[in-house]
Amino acid sequence: MVDRQKLLSYAREVSPKYLVVLYLTLLLALTAGVSSLALYPQEERIVARQQQLRQELQKVAAVENYVLTHPDMDKHLQDLQQALLRAERSLPGSMDVSEFLSTLERDARAAGVRLTAVKPGAVTDRAGYREMPLEVSIEGNYFATLAFLKKLEDGSRFNLPASFLIQQKQNVLATRLNLLIYGYGVSGRPTTPAQSTPLTTQQQVQQLQQQLPKVLQTPAQTPSPTPPAR
Query: Per-residue pLDDT for the chain (230 aa), expressed as one digit of tens each?
Result: 456 666 666 666 666 666 666 667 877 777 777 666 666 677 778 888 889 999 999 988 888 888 888 788 788 788 888 887 777 777 887 888 888 889 899 999 999 999 999 999 998 888 888 899 999 999 999 899 999 999 988 888 888 888 888 888 878 899 999 999 888 876 654 444 444 455 555 565 566 556 555 544 444 444 444 444 44
CA separation for the pair 219, 170 (Å, rounded): 10
Predicted local confidence at residue 210, as pLDDT: 60
DSSP secondary structure letter of residue 38: I
β-bridge partners, 161? 179
Positive or negative torsion for Cα 149, 150, 153, 155: negative
Q: 58 vs 54, 55, 195, 227, CA distance in Å?
A: 6, 5, 47, 90
R_g of the chain computed on alpha carbons: 41
* Max Cα-Cα span within the chain: 155
Residue 100's closest CA among 207, 180, 4, 12?
A: 180
* Predicted pLDDT of residue 147: 93
**What whole-number distance in Å separates Cα of residue 74 and Cα of residue 215?**
55
Please give the pLDDT value at position 220.
Answer: 42
Q: Which long-range contacts (CB under 8 A, 24 or more apart) does 19-23 make?
A: none
Supply the pLDDT for residue 107.
Answer: 92
The pLDDT of residue 74: 82
